[in-house]
Structure 1
Amino acid sequence: MKKCIIPCLFLFSLLTVSCEAQVKPNDIPVKEDSKNYKLETVAAAIAIPWGMVWLPDGSMLVTEKSGTLYHIKNGSKTDVTNVPKVYSRGQGGLLDIALHPKYAENGWIYMTFASDEGEGTGGNTKLIRAKLLNGSLTQIESLYKATPNTTKGQHFGSRITFDNDGYLYFSVGERGDHFVNPQDIKRDGGKIYRLNDDGSIPKDNPFLGQAGAKEAMYTYGNRNPQGMAKNPITGEIWAHEHGPKGGDEINIIKKGANYGWPLVTYGIDYDGTTISKESEKKGIEKPLYYWVPSIAPSGMAFVTSDKYPDWKGHLLVGSLKFEYLELLKLKGNEVIERQKIATGVGRVRNVAQGPDGYIYMGVEGKGIVKIIPN
């Protein structure tokens, strides 16, 4: 037995070191750009291209934050008319755009934007739907308007997506009032909402019937979600959101869940002060992944195209702060690898896979950029 003491202790030491050396999910180092592709600008001179969708004829609709909706076809860019008035301030403006899953049958287009509609000064995020006819928006219907209006320029959100059952999800940031809005189910802001496609509230929404609650709300405790996409394998809605200084998160959206802001966070305030000493708490959803330092994520897309065999089945997220597109390789719901793409391209505001199977980025100051694999 005495002969076994040293080897056993040595083995235990190795096991201990091995366990301690394991990389935490948020500590995965980002690999450098492989550059096995080329970039092609398909629509230039768009200051802040926020949202983009493709029409059945292959042309694109692109929202520009200051309030212009572009129709892009064969390299030419025309302005769509009759776009609602946009409250353009700070991070607010003309935001996301999405087509109804049955667009070919009904022609509905959905958009979010900052609006000064309603009482008070300033603006807040609004959701509408409309149809496109002869280069103009028609049959515009107001589906939801967050309140109250405020002149603060922060955190309007906003992304739109549909699930497999045809429900519409959209996000609204907490508008800079992080100690008031996100944890209060009677207030808009810091939430992800779920509606029927006509703007009515689904009968199984989690806060339906609760006194004073915002019944369109599906989750709360969100900070400023600017990426949202449907997982093509599971059908779950994934969203990412900006943290403060550190702690951007990816979350799987669950009915009635509280995502913790500002009660828990992995970051600190921009002035260096502590927002919360807790990074997890009972009753609050843990993120699937979080970034420290923050990358300032915007836009989100799952790759399903055979054109990118090394990327297929994985997730793309734009980085505003570091000016690249990030590939997050997945094993189920776990991020196992990170890689830079399009390093130095500029502030990536959005990313989407087109019907042609190619990946497109909305890059601030440039426009729409296509990634063509070598």
Structure 2
Amino acid sequence: MLFDRLKRFAVLLDCPELAPPPVFSSGESVAGRVLLELSGEARLGALHVHALGCAKVHWSESRSAGSSTAYTQSYSDQVDFLSHRETLLAPPDHGGVTVLQAGRHEFPFTFQLPDTLATSFEGKHGSVRYWVKAKLHRPWCSVKRAKKEFTVIEPIDINTPALLAPQAGAKEKLARVWYGSRGQVSVSAKIDRKGYTPGEVIPIFAEIDNCTTRSVVPKAAIIQTQTFIARGTRKQKKSVVASMAGDSIAAGKREVWHGRALKIPPVGPSILQCRIIHVEYALKVCVDIPGTSKLLLELPLVIGTIPLHPFGSRTSSVSSQYSVNLDWIRMGITDQPEAPPDYSTVVSGEELIENLSPPRQDEPSGIVEGPFFAYIQEFRFRPPPLYSEVDPNPPSDNSIRPRCMTC
């Protein structure tokens, strides 16, 4: 029987066997072969290969239909990116079988990826996967199947004007208790660009004013938001992928971060173009205020795959510039990360209160109230003194003509 003579049936892609899963991007060609190893003469029918790629989402929610009645509502959707079929071994015209001798037989195949794809992804309620499947038909035997997965990384070049633009914001919050106000807390933050790649360090420039009567603690975190969409309904999962805490700020004091470093771990790139799955990132700076909700400031991030060019070159190819750590493909983000804090410790849904308390009057005159961007170290460019034709400090000798500032 063929079952006894088939020693190996596998799909191989053109890459070293010990290397990580092969990585491709849209528009590239994928080449490989189907391997058959036979211990003796065998009679075969047809051999087909099918390349597939799709995004799938699925989740269920329990809903109440009354005081004692409940039901489960399921949501599912799928988007196909790739479907390529090819026959590698066809039966003879008369409908017979093909006889192969013992030994190793290879059947090569190649196909081109479409121009628009989504990056490979594994999430809690959905995934984006790509694979090549082979089917071997045999007389009087069940169909034999083999499968090989591969990874697709859609290039995101952070060397674009939109991703090189600085991101900044400011927020204020009035800390209240039931008997009245306890003072105002404000935070301003800035990062030098919107796009980063895994392994980079984000320098955070921030200023936190604590005008309350108690100490507050500033924190910063990188948040990943997975959004799954099906039948007009959205399901989200948020995870803290990196975090840091600043020093406690005493009552009536001000804290300034001069480029406080927060490193990006091995995470997957942003997915923004898929209809049913989005993966987005944000840098969130928050202040823990005792007795009330947190003050939260969010700055958008895009995690790319092509790192920053040190000399502004835009001519390098994706294959030569792609340096993202592929550990994220294997490790992923756990549902409850051990090192970072819970998401609830850095996120607050409180809206900004419009009735703000007046600025404190006991601050040194050299510190300007409001956003910190005018006097943070990176932007301390003061204007030159006003031009004047008259020397502001003339010499005491009246016989000497006043000096001209232009001389």
TM range (shorter): under 0.3
- TM-score with structure 2 length normalisation? 0.20
Choose between structure 1 and 2: higher strand proportion: 2
Which of the two has higher C-alpha Rg? 2
- TM-score with structure 1 length normalisation? 0.21
